[in-house]
Chains A and B, each alone.
Chain A
Amino acid sequence: MDKYVQVENVRMVFNTKKGPFVALRDINLNIAQGEFVALIGHSGCGKSTLLNLVAGLTLPSDGAMLCAGREIAGPGPERGVVFQNHSLLPWLTCFDNVYLAVERVFGQTESKASLKTRTHEALALVGLTHAEHKHPHEISGGMKQRVGIARALSMQPKVLLLDEPFGALDALTRAHLQDELMKITAETHSTVVMVTHDVDEAVLLSDRIVMMTNGPAATIGEILHVELPRPRERLALANDAKYHEYRGAVLDFLYRRQLRPAA
């Protein structure tokens, strides 16, 4: 299926006190099933706004959005979101945080035991079996983000939406989680849309990199196809000429053609 997620002529206008603010215009994007797409751009370019539109958390002012042939009219469990700041509920254990999602999606059709098994499996997938019964404040930032990913994956979403999921983590933890995410998406064949501002992350993980122009009234500036064979190895790519070519192209777009005068 070539057009699993369809975004057509989408325009997003926010009503502010100073009048209407055009955040996005003329957004056209089709995402194939199993594809990994990164949205990259300077801060304020509306990449998170675009992700929220796909998530259904906000509705477009104009244009059409479809997921698996159906109109996106609001958020739903078939589009799992991993939030920028993990957004775990602090009063629930890691297990219960994931269970809440599992119960919602499979609670009508499956037994309690099977719901629990699903929760255990999701946490095992991100390597957190040992922390199941801890509360979010007892674990590290990287672990919290992994629980967030487990929660999104546990719903078996058709599309996984990641909003700068590793932005708040240190470089080593981030690299580790990127590797894990690659492994997981290879196993689950998930369709992924990920907002990032990290060029290396975008090239390493994606099949396509959607580069956005600066706001206001941002739109898609260019789309880069990353044709590196999978599975990708961080260390091997460090000396790969093609990798550096892609990296150079994104950097060129961001820092030469879309450079902000004053950030």
Chain B
Amino acid sequence: MSAVILMKGFENMETQEQTTPPVAAVVDVVAPDTARAPGVLRLATQMAAAFIKLLVPPVLGLALFIGIWALISQTSPQLPGPLKTWDSAVALFSDPFYNNGPNDQGIGWNILASLQRVAIGFGMAALVGIPLGFMIGRFQFLSAMMSPIISLLRPVSPLAWLPIGLLVFKAANPAAVWVIFISAIWPMIINTAVGVNRIPADYMNVARVLNLSEWKIFTKILFPAVLPYMMTGIRLSIGVAWLVIVAAEMLTGGVGIGFWVWDEWNNLNVEHIIIAIFIVGIVGLLLEYALTLLAKRFSYE
């Protein structure tokens, strides 16, 4: 009852019917069903409309994508269609964590193995890249010193580093981690350095007037001011790392989503390759989303 009154009152506010005093509105609601039905109905339709507006375009896009995929699979018999892939995915995910030796493990283990490599490589890149970015941003000399090295090495394809990794570490796994490290480090160095450079002069003047110690300047001014830039760098880095891991694992083998793709290609199990593409996409999306949430958590305005 009270909910209905509230809703009625809400509707009145919305339509700005200021000629009707609130008491009359309450009386209105107690009265016949015909009076409140339109209000409830309108609220429902409004919510439905908003929902449809939000949901229809992406659903339509996905439907179009699956439609085209189905059409292509009709004309080319080697490519499995959406339904066949779906069935295969259901079977695959019914037992994601089996373990039949190093070359035959569940999809869950493969995903986790790839994520672990990304985490180690990315983590080390952050440990080196972020402090380096701060120093390059803070000290002009270091910036001038590092700038040619960064310009030279940044455009190199990540996989070009793999042989060096194999040579130095004499093992596949550290070599893959090394490739992640070297490809994830650049966005973090560069964005952190840019962030330090773009700190408003006012903040540094405050630091000078208050005569803050270098440590206080770092914790109270530099770090919080640079944090949004740093988060952008981290987000770009993790994107690159996840892109690169698939390629690196294809070459190094072992357990991992990239190796799994290659393995399934050797088995000519095309459904699984398509499933892998979706998995890589979805995991990348989730990583990106998690970091966007984290960045929001750290933004100060």
Contact = CB atoms under 8 A, between A and B. Distances in A.
B250 interface: no
B301 A87 contact: no
Contact of A90 (B205, B209, B216, B301): B301
Given A92-B220, A100-B220, A104-B211, A85 B202 contact: yes
A79 B208 CA distance: 11
B160 to A, nearest CB: 40
Given A104-B216, A135-B300, A77 B203 contact: no
Given A75-B211, A100-B210, A104-B211, A83 B300 contact: no
Nearest to A90: B300
Contacts of B212: 100, 104
Interface string B214-256: 0010001100110000000000000000000000000000000
B49 interface: no
Interface string A69-106: 00000111101110101010111100000001100100
A79 B210 CA distance: 9
B218 to A, nearest CB: 13
Contacts of B209: 55, 57, 75-77, 79-81
A87 B205 contact: yes
Contacts of B300: 90-91, 135
Contacts of A92: 220
A57 B205 contact: yes
B206 interface: yes
Contacts of A79: 209
A23 B278 CA distance: 65
A155 B221 CA distance: 19
Interface size class of B (residues with CB under 8 A): 10 to 19
Nearest to A152: B209
Interface string B258-301: 00000000000000000000000000000000000000000011
A104 B205 contact: no
B209 to A, nearest CB: 5
A83 B205 contact: yes
A137 interface: yes
A76 B211 contact: yes
Contacts of B301: 90, 137
A163 B222 CA distance: 24
Contact of A87 (B206, B216, B224, B225): B206
B221 A89 contact: yes
Contacts of B208: 57, 74-75
Nearest to B221: A89
Contacts of B202: 83, 85, 87
A77 B224 contact: no
A91 B299 CA distance: 9
A74 B210 CA distance: 11
Contacts of A91: 224-225, 300
A101 B203 contact: no
A16 B220 CA distance: 32
Given A83-B206, A104-B216, 20 more contacts: A55-B209, A57-B209, A74-B208, A75-B208, A75-B209, A75-B211, A77-B209, A77-B211, A81-B205, A81-B209, A83-B202, A85-B202, A87-B202, A87-B206, A89-B220, A89-B224, A90-B301, A91-B224, A91-B225, A135-B300
The 7 A-B pairs of least Cβ separation, nearest first, read A91-B300, A91-B224, A87-B202, A75-B208, A75-B209, A81-B209, A104-B210
Interface of B: 202-203, 205-206, 208-212, 216, 220-221, 224-225, 300-301
Interface of A: 55, 57, 74-77, 79-81, 83, 85, 87, 89-92, 100-101, 104, 135, 137, 155
